């Protein structure tokens, strides 16, 4: 999710049963459903506690931080990980790269990222995309393949670089 999408998410947008989060407010004004990994759902369940449905997931009253102060926490985590020149948006690049390494179809990657048309797509293939609709199970499979993508990337790196990833 983009930072703004994440900060605007409410508990009502989360479905523990179907393991999806509904992204209402998007950059391109096209709401989408995102499948959650079991680990992400587990973390969100612990975070929720007794929060009502209408509350923001990252509500400042509960976190004790203004919404933008969450970026300070992110930067601290980046620093603790020993990374430099790494921004929140880079998480989307990592996500897409791991999906691609796991052989996820570019249309599915575009759907998960909230992109209207995959990069490099031509006008002709855009018409095809208008007829080829999302297949929710493919998106779920794509998200579940993230670890496979990570392993594929690591396998191609020298061992000294693998620790940084």
Average pLDDT on 96-124 reads 78
- Domain positions in the chain are 1-83, 89-165
Please check whether residue 113 is in contact with residue 61, taking contact to mean a CB–CB distance below 8 angstroms: no
- DSSP state for residue 25 in the 8-state scheme: S
CA angle (98, 139, 74) in 5-degree steps: 50
35: closest CA among 21, 25, 49?
21
Q: What pLDDT, on the 0 to 100 scale, is given for residue 54?
A: 96
pTM of structure: 0.73
Six-digit token pair at 77?
């985590």
DSSP count for the chain of H helices, then E strands:
10, 3
Q: What is the pLDDT of residue 114?
A: 87
Give the tens place of pLDDT for each residue, 2-55.
999 998 999 999 999 999 999 998 988 889 999 999 999 999 999 898 999 999
Please say if the pLDDT value at position 154 is more than 90: no
- Asked if CATH classification 1.10.443.10 holds for the domain at 1-83, the reply, yes or no, is yes
d(CA 63, CA 73) in angstroms, rounded, equals 11
Between 24 and 137, name the one with better pLDDT: 24
pLDDT at 157: 62
Closest by Cα among 58, 68, 34 to 144: 34
Supply the mean pLDDT for the chain.
83
């Amino acid at each position: 999710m983009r930072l703004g999408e994440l900060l605007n998410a409410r508990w009502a947008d989360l479905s523990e049963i179907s393991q999806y989060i509904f992204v209402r407010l998007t950059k391109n004004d096209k709401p989408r459903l995102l499948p959650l990994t079991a680990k992400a759902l587990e973390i969100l369940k612990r975070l929720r506690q007794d929060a009502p449905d209408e509350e923001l997931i990252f509500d400042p009253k509960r976190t004790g931080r203004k919404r933008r102060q969450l970026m300070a926490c992110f930067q601290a985590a980046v620093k603790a990980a020993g990374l430099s020149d790494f921004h929140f948006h880079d998480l989307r690049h990592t996500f897409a790269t791991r999906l691609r390494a796991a052989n996820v179809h570019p249309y599915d990657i575009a759907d998960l990222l909230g992109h209207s048309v995959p990069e490099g797509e031509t006008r002709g293939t855009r018409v095809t995309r208008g007829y080829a609709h999302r297949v929710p199970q493919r998106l779920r499979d794509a998200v579940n393949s993230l670890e496979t993508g990570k392993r594929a990337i690591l396998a191609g790196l020298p061992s000294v670089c693998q620790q940084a990833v």
